[in-house]
Amino acid sequence: MTLNQGGVLYKDFGEIKPPGIFFLYYGILKLFGKESIYIGLKFLALFTQVFSAFFFFKSGEILFDRKKGFYLSMFFLITLSLSYRFWPPNVMLLYFFPISLSLYFLSLSLKKDSLWRYFLSGLMMGLSFLISTNLFVFYLMIPLVSWKLKKNFKDFFSASFFGGIGFLIPLFGTCVYFWLNDALTDWYWWNVKWAEIYGGAYPIWLRIWKFFYGFILTWPLFPLYVHGIVSLKKIIQGKEYQNSNKVFLILVFFILSVCSRLLLSKGEPRYYLYLVPGFIFIAFHLNTVIKIRFVYLVSFLIMGAGFLYSFYFASQDVKAVFSKEKKEAVEWIKLNSKAEDKIFVWGEGLDYYYSTGRKMATSFFSPNQHLDYPYLWEQNGYQDIDYPWKQFLEEIEKDKPVYIIDYSGIQGDFNQERQKSRKQPLKYYMNRFKNFVYKHYEKTKNIGTIPFYLDIKALKKMLRNRLLIEDELFLESVYQNKKIKPDITEKEKERIKEIFENLGYIKIWKKKNS
């Protein structure tokens, strides 16, 4: 949207992700138009899956045989259907296409050595690097494979050099784009500095735990993991990689897949898409036919259960797409603002900016994550906190959005609940922002109510200091009565609803006329 409105990436829209995904989405927006963008994105996902499966088939044909390559590509497609968390066309799904081509070119160079193949393989790796930063590790495939294939240093060097040139071309093109738009510093901040801060927030033990925990979350892939590990053990024990260049490539591809996943700190199931190709190739290398039918049966049952679970869950998960409150807020903004107006959302604002079509004030679409994240800043010793906050305060004062939408929900105004964990200098910056809002804006609308089906005690804890004393006493009496008589009367329900309606779920602040 920012690009479509003539903005510059990272200067007008900041995010940790490298630029590739934004250019792709922008392309889809141009091709399909705003109304059909979701269809366009589905097509993008479909395109990625089909072409990646095809090039994995072609690579499998070289590394194994044609039939095995075909089964491998089919298995790849089935794997993607085993978890509904794999389905959205995010970076983890889109990187498959360039990486499958890259692997294909590298496999071709095993058949017949050519510098062009290294170059093309590097070029594809460069493209995948623009989609997801952690994929830079895949570049190591080129020097490692060429080192294995080449007899002398000169050949090894030229292969690595040509591959490196290919890898750097997309990066160079991007550099030129940012240089022409005077956004190199912004790009550096988001993709390097912020990536360092965000990526380094979790301690090592937590990262390791999350790495293994992710395997549990992606349980339908368990048979694949087991086959992969058994195959790995066999390759290492038999030192098969020493005699076979193909096995060497499979092993390197597998190790780098694991490394690319390890670079990320969270245990999100979608991150395990980084492991899928590596595991599939190494698992398909397992030549020993497992004689025990029971193993196949268990694998089939686990994967089948995963497929059915994903299917069921995805068909149920409709409410998460767009809440009633969000829809109301969007309609209200559209009615009460002009097309060229700027708005600002405290919380995750992408849906609002996209659905209202109003410009985003500041370059921060997710202040909860990019600015007001006490845990992250504390882990980093508040290093570099001044840069984004100064930038943000400057931008918001300059942009003066017509509305500020506070999407903190039950967390209070601008995540009041976080106040106790905000320490200096985060507290100072947060207060400066709040002072700016209180001075120039007034609360004009509350949308939605806090879901009162939640446990009253938990709500009371959440809302302390923000309730009138009589409301608090009323809630307390309801809570005490609930212990004796579990049902809440209609009258009590009405009163609770009224209390929460006054607090509001989505709060809209309007710029004062001055």
Partner 1 sequence: METKKLDRWTSYLLRNDLKVFAFILFSTFFLKLVYLLGSPIWRVAIFRGQ
Per-residue x/- marks for partner 1, 384-403, CB under 8 A?
--------------------
Which residue of 21, 28, 53, 463 would you call a contact of partner 1, by CB under 8 A? 53
Size of the chain in residues: 514
> How many other β-carbons are positioned within 10 Å of the β-carbon of residue 318?
8
Which residue of 10, 12, 49, 83 would you call a contact of partner 1, by CB under 8 A? 49
Q: Which stretch binds partner 1 (CB under 8 A): 107-115, 273-281, 306-314, 429-437?
A: 306-314
Kindly state whether residue 297 participates in binding partner 1, applying the rule CB under 8 A.
Answer: no
Within 409-468, which residues bind partner 1 (CB under 8 A)?
Answer: none
Kindly state whether residue 260 participates in binding partner 1, applying the rule CB under 8 A.
Answer: no
Q: How far is the CA of 120 from the CAs of 63, 136, 166, 435, in angstroms?
A: 18, 15, 6, 54
Q: Residue 34 or residue 66: which is nearer to partner 1 going by CB? A: 66
How many amino acids of this chain bind partner 1 (CB under 8 A)? 23
Which two structure tokens, joined as six digits, stand for 351? Answer: 């849906």
Q: How far is the CA of 106 from the CAs of 59, 76, 135, 140, 190, in angstroms?
A: 9, 19, 16, 12, 32
Within 334-353, which residues bind partner 1 (CB under 8 A)?
Answer: none
Kindly state whether residue 67 participates in binding partner 1, applying the rule CB under 8 A.
Answer: yes
Query: Which H or E run includes 385?
Result: none
Given the DSSP bridges, would you call strands 359-360 and 441-447 parallel, antiparallel or unpaired?
unpaired
Q: Which stretch binds partner 1 (CB under 8 A): 22-30, 281-289, 291-299, 307-315?
A: 307-315
Q: Residue 76 or residue 281: which is nearer to partner 1 going by CB? A: 76
For residues 401 and 337, give the distance between their C-alpha atoms in angstroms, rounded to a whole number.
11
Kindly state whether residue 290 participates in binding partner 1, applying the rule CB under 8 A.
Answer: no
Task: Please name every residue paired with 507 in a beta bridge, in sequence order, or none if there are none.
Answer: 406, 446
Kindly state whether residue 46 participates in binding partner 1, applying the rule CB under 8 A.
Answer: yes
Q: Residue 11 or residue 58: which is nearer to partner 1 going by CB? A: 58
Kindly state whether residue 181 participates in binding partner 1, applying the rule CB under 8 A.
Answer: no
Per-residue x/- marks for partner 1, 187-226, CB under 8 A?
----------------------------------------
> How many other β-carbons are positioned within 10 Å of the β-carbon of residue 159?
26
Exposed / middle / buried, residue 464 (Cβ in 10 Å: 0-12, 13-18, 19+) = exposed
> Tell me, what amino acid is at 199?
G
CB of 312 to partner 1, least distance (A): 8
In 3D, which of 304, 280, 257 has the Cα closest to residue 53? Answer: 280
CB of 308 to partner 1, least distance (A): 10
Kindly state whether residue 78 participates in binding partner 1, applying the rule CB under 8 A.
Answer: yes
Q: How far is the CA of 509 from the CAs of 145, 190, 347, 369, 466, in angstroms?
A: 59, 28, 14, 21, 18
> Tell me, what amino acid is at 272?
Y
Which residue of 31, 314, 454, 473 would you call a contact of partner 1, by CB under 8 A? 314
Q: Residues 485, 425: contact at Cβ < 8 Å?
A: no
In 3D, which of 320, 319, 316 has the Cα closest to residue 308? Answer: 316
> How many other β-carbons are positioned within 10 Å of the β-carbon of residue 189?
20
CB of 85 to partner 1, least distance (A): 13
Cα dihedral 101, 106, 111, 113 sign = positive
Q: Residues 117, 109: contact at Cβ < 8 Å?
A: yes
Which residue of 204, 289, 292, 318 would you call a contact of partner 1, by CB under 8 A? 318
Which letter does DSSP use for residue 13 in this model?
A: B
> Tell me, what amino acid is at 462?
M
Kindly state whether residue 77 participates in binding partner 1, applying the rule CB under 8 A.
Answer: yes
Q: Residue 76 or residue 162: which is nearer to partner 1 going by CB? A: 76
CB of 349 to partner 1, least distance (A): 25
Per-residue x/- marks for partner 1, 79-118, CB under 8 A?
-xx-----x-------------------------------
Rounded-to-5 percentages of helix, strand, coil across the chain: 70, 5, 25
Q: Residue 56 or residue 95: which is nearer to partner 1 going by CB? A: 56
Tokens 């709060």 -> residue: 507
Extended strands (E) in 24-105: none
Q: Which stretch binds partner 1 (CB under 8 A): 29-37, 68-76, 192-200, 492-500?
A: 68-76
CB of 318 to partner 1, least distance (A): 4
Q: Which stretch binds partner 1 (CB under 8 A): 1-9, 52-60, 146-154, 363-371?
A: 52-60
Task: Using CB under 8 A, list all residues that contact partner 1.
Answer: 46, 49-50, 53-54, 57-58, 66-67, 70, 73-74, 77-78, 80-81, 87, 311-312, 314-316, 318
